[in-house]
Chains A and B, each alone.
Chain A
């Protein structure tokens, strides 16, 4: 059995780790958190130069043609660094949507530019508070134009184009929209994690082109989200591990009652539980990575498993990191809140934890009934 990443894949992860440790320390995250820039453009350019935006894009579209296992390694390190760039929106969502549903012309138009970082893409799905039903979008497509409001759209203010889920002639469909079109009104939204931008996009008869089959949008989006769920899960375990490391470092060096607080069982057991959640999530992520890279029929179950597990692990590690830091963890000055903010962003950006739990059980029940 070889249920492990290869030495080359681990080497790539190690390189990504060193690169991001150098280019994206938490001070970089803080700069975006506290400043007015929606993302770190210099870091984005560096990441593009590393070729990561081109990773899984086939060579015929100017990509590197790497596998998903390689992208998972990059994702884990992106998660660990909390990089304030629209990588997940452009790479896990928009690129995947084009790879899965685009026709040759669309792929030729978008993929080389996505690979080269000349275009940033995102997916616009949600429509306000509460879970968005994939059969009832209020944004509609008629006569080649979109009308209606999407909120929130992650990186909606940054992205050059969006894959928009909307109600078309034959039901839910996906559309490609150039976000520079003058008919779109954009509003940057206040968000709990300002290191990743969120926007309200209002389409007013905005030109759009169908991506994939008319009426096949719900299924197409589900596939995009399944692929993305695995990649997001790797970001989550990377970030969760960083939070656990931070908690450990602090506890080891903070003394109370004459000894390191890391020697108290109340602290040790809390950190052991963080580790356990992380290891379970990691093993499920490996399962997701295997299914994604082989396109196995188990992917829907594997993706949901990885997602649910990693969401739990990251929340647990992020909140307990604050707890272990005590009052210091509640200060703006310490970095603990970065992980806490990001945990909620990553948990909800593909649909909530309860939505994914529901998907998971539906899929498991369906697979056991067969």
Chain B
């Protein structure tokens, strides 16, 4: 039992470092961020595209892609090492995850030669940015309940409906889209999957204002949008399986969560008073900190176990499924507690005066999303119960029922 790289991993890490040193600037402070002085998102995208081109020209753009499509055929552990190393440099992240991570592999699996030739090179070079058009207002956890309609019209399909929670739709060139092509059959059977040009007439992107006041994602409306049949991925009616292939490519997340964790909370507790004494000396505070410390530590070493599994060439086991479930709730509760320690001033989120530049106040407002996005707490518990513990699914009242006969609520 040790925390060391194998000789192969150490060699790969050295190679990554040598490359990154040659093209990027190492962070002097771990909290440093590449985008802190940017004027706007357009500038961020330009910088991100330029960085991705640099990676592409040097053969580092699509680590996990097969070599025949311009990738390095990197193993899981090599991707982890890349992420660990890249995280120490001032380089952009995050704009190409849907394209490189999800759209690309789906096209490799389901695309015909023409589709592969058309899309994979511009995906690899990150000339084109992609977004994911799956969720709908009434189809999130129950993704197969989507309503967005696709109707065949000659060699085209006509799309009508609405998608939601689409990150980056406003700057994306292309989207991967699941639609309802046949409402008269069972819900998993009547779906068809497309690649859609986001500049097509009838596509309207509207930002969603969140409870934080910011806008991290969008609603996308489709009104009589024409998609040529040549942009269909997979067979008509087989969209559910294509969508599953996309979702299978969601990254194994072994990164650390950002934002305040228990060590920052301990620092805060040293610097605010309860009854004239530092809060860190208060027994009730210490008991809370102990609970969160064991969760913080438990998640850290769970990640280490997952990385170790990948190092042996295995897929991380069930332990990896608990990271978000525990981490997101912990973030929320710690932020709430931190603000309580600040007492009446806890409500003040002015970055100039709030401890840690208002990090805990920001986390308090942001953290509800962590418990919802990418699988709600409730869905994740189902995942643990069914896939890890092997417990049965709940009976589904829409099982085998034609889609258009499934009951719907008043919330549309």
- A and B held together in a complex: yes
Give A residues with C-beta under 8 Å from B.
Answer: 1-6, 69, 248, 251-252, 259-260, 262-265, 267-269, 271-273, 275-276, 279-284, 286-287, 289-290, 293, 305, 308-309, 312, 354, 356-358, 360-361, 364-365, 368
The answer to whether B394 and A263 have CB atoms under 8 Å apart is yes
The answer to whether A272 and B384 have CB atoms under 8 Å apart is yes
The answer to whether B1 and A289 have CB atoms under 8 Å apart is yes
Residue B177 interfacial (CB < 8 Å): no
Which A residues are CB-close (under 8 A) to B318? 275, 279
Q: Residue-by-residue, is B309-351 near A (CB-CB < 8 Å gives 1, otherwise 0)?
A: 1011000001100100110000000000000000000000000
In the complex the two chains form, what is the Cα distance from A305 to B289 in whole Å? Answer: 12
In the complex the two chains form, what is the Cα distance from A289 to B304 in whole Å? Answer: 14
Binds A, one of B65-73, B217-225, B292-300: B292-300
Which A residues are CB-close (under 8 A) to B394? 263-265
Q: Residue-by-residue, is B261-287 near A (CB-CB < 8 Å gives 1, otherwise 0)?
A: 001001100100000000010010011
The answer to whether A5 and B388 have CB atoms under 8 Å apart is no
- Given A2-B1, A276-B326, 12 more A-B residue pairs with CB atoms under 8 Å apart are A1-B311, A2-B6, A4-B309, A252-B392, A263-B392, A267-B391, A268-B385, A269-B381, A272-B384, A280-B302, A360-B293, A361-B266
| Given A268-B382, A271-B385: A4 and B305 interface contact (C-beta under 8 Å) | yes
The answer to whether A357 and B290 have CB atoms under 8 Å apart is yes
In the complex the two chains form, what is the Cα distance from A358 to B291 in whole Å? Answer: 11
- List 6 interface pairs A-B (beta carbons < 8 Å), by A numbering: A1-B5, A69-B1, A262-B392, A268-B382, A361-B289, A365-B270
CB contacts under 8 Å to A, within B162-205, are: none
In the complex the two chains form, what is the Cα distance from A280 to B299 in whole Å? Answer: 6
The answer to whether A283 and B290 have CB atoms under 8 Å apart is no
The answer to whether B308 and A251 have CB atoms under 8 Å apart is no
The answer to whether B322 and A276 have CB atoms under 8 Å apart is yes
Which A residues are CB-close (under 8 A) to B380? 272
In the complex the two chains form, what is the Cα distance from A293 to B6 in whole Å? Answer: 20
Which B residues are CB-close (under 8 A) to A6? 1
The answer to whether B304 and A364 have CB atoms under 8 Å apart is no
The answer to whether A358 and B286 have CB atoms under 8 Å apart is yes
The answer to whether B388 and A275 have CB atoms under 8 Å apart is yes
Give B residues with C-beta under 8 Å from A.
Answer: 1-6, 9, 263, 266-267, 270, 280, 283, 286-287, 289-291, 293-295, 297-302, 304-305, 307-309, 311-312, 318-319, 322, 325-326, 378, 380-382, 384-386, 388-395
Across the A-B interface, give the 3 residue pairs with the lowest CB-CB distance, nearest first: A280-B298, A268-B385, A357-B290
In the complex the two chains form, what is the Cα distance from A69 to B1 in whole Å? Answer: 9
| Given A1-B308, A282-B319, A283-B304: A272 and B293 interface contact (C-beta under 8 Å) | no
Which B residues are CB-close (under 8 A) to A276? 322, 325-326, 384
For A282, the closest partner residue in chain B by CB is B319
Given B266, B304, B390, which contacts A1 in the complex, CB threshold below 8 Å? Answer: B304
Which A residues are CB-close (under 8 A) to B290? 308, 356-358, 360-361
Given A251, A252, A263, A286, which contacts B1 in the complex, CB threshold below 8 Å? Answer: A286
In the complex the two chains form, what is the Cα distance from A246 to B54 in whole Å? Answer: 55
| Given A268-B391, A280-B299, A283-B305: A293 and B1 interface contact (C-beta under 8 Å) | yes
Which A residues are CB-close (under 8 A) to B297? 283-284, 287, 305, 309
Given B305, B308, B391, which contacts A262 in the complex, CB threshold below 8 Å? Answer: B391
The answer to whether A272 and B287 have CB atoms under 8 Å apart is no
Q: How far is the CB of B179 from chain A (nearest CB, A)?
A: 30
The answer to whether B298 and A268 have CB atoms under 8 Å apart is no
Q: How far is the CB of A229 from chain B (nearest CB, A)?
A: 13
The answer to whether B280 and A365 have CB atoms under 8 Å apart is yes
In the complex the two chains form, what is the Cα distance from A1 to B10 in whole Å? Answer: 10
In the complex the two chains form, what is the Cα distance from A365 to B279 in whole Å? Answer: 13
The answer to whether B382 and A265 have CB atoms under 8 Å apart is yes
For B280, the closest partner residue in chain A by CB is A365
In the complex the two chains form, what is the Cα distance from A265 to B283 in whole Å? Answer: 36
Q: How far is the CB of B334 from chain A (nearest CB, A)?
A: 14
The answer to whether A283 and B1 have CB atoms under 8 Å apart is no
Which A residues are CB-close (under 8 A) to B280? 361, 365
The answer to whether B385 and A272 have CB atoms under 8 Å apart is yes
| Given A305-B293, A368-B266: A4 and B286 interface contact (C-beta under 8 Å) | no
| Given A2-B4, A361-B289: A263 and B391 interface contact (C-beta under 8 Å) | yes
In the complex the two chains form, what is the Cα distance from A97 to B289 in whole Å? Answer: 31
In the complex the two chains form, what is the Cα distance from A283 to B302 in whole Å? Answer: 5
In the complex the two chains form, what is the Cα distance from A263 to B386 in whole Å? Answer: 9
The answer to whether A280 and B266 have CB atoms under 8 Å apart is no
The answer to whether B391 and A252 have CB atoms under 8 Å apart is yes
Which A residues are CB-close (under 8 A) to B298? 279-281, 283-284, 305, 309
For A268, the closest partner residue in chain B by CB is B385
Given B9, B305, B384, which contacts A3 in the complex, CB threshold below 8 Å? Answer: B305
The answer to whether A309 and B325 have CB atoms under 8 Å apart is no
In the complex the two chains form, what is the Cα distance from A360 to B293 in whole Å? Answer: 9
In the complex the two chains form, what is the Cα distance from A293 to B2 in whole Å? Answer: 11
| Given A272-B389, A280-B298: A368 and B263 interface contact (C-beta under 8 Å) | yes
For B393, the closest partner residue in chain A by CB is A263
The answer to whether A260 and B301 have CB atoms under 8 Å apart is no
Q: How far is the CB of A297 from chain B (nearest CB, A)?
A: 15
The answer to whether A271 and B389 have CB atoms under 8 Å apart is yes
Given A275, A283, A357, A365, which contacts B287 in the complex, CB threshold below 8 Å? Answer: A357
For B9, the closest partner residue in chain A by CB is A1
The answer to whether A286 and B301 have CB atoms under 8 Å apart is yes
Q: How far is the CB of A247 from chain B (nearest CB, A)?
A: 10
In the complex the two chains form, what is the Cα distance from A239 to B293 in whole Å? Answer: 23
Which B residues are CB-close (under 8 A) to A365? 266, 270, 280
In the complex the two chains form, what is the Cα distance from A311 to B133 in whole Å? Answer: 45
Which A residues are CB-close (under 8 A) to B308? 1-4
Given A1, A280, A283, which contacts B3 in the complex, CB threshold below 8 Å? Answer: A1
Residue of B5, B290, B307, B318 most packed against chain A (CB within 10 A): B290
In the complex the two chains form, what is the Cα distance from A263 to B388 in whole Å? Answer: 14
Given B2, B309, B391, which contacts A271 in the complex, CB threshold below 8 Å? Answer: B391
The answer to whether A248 and B389 have CB atoms under 8 Å apart is yes
In the complex the two chains form, what is the Cα distance from A286 to B159 in whole Å? Answer: 53
Residue of B291, B294, B393 most packed against chain A (CB within 10 A): B294
In the complex the two chains form, what is the Cα distance from A365 to B318 in whole Å? Answer: 32
For B3, the closest partner residue in chain A by CB is A1
For B382, the closest partner residue in chain A by CB is A268
Which B residues are CB-close (under 8 A) to A262? 391-392
Which A residues are CB-close (under 8 A) to B304? 1, 3, 283, 286
For A356, the closest partner residue in chain B by CB is B290
Which B residues are CB-close (under 8 A) to A358? 283, 286, 290
The answer to whether B391 and A251 have CB atoms under 8 Å apart is yes
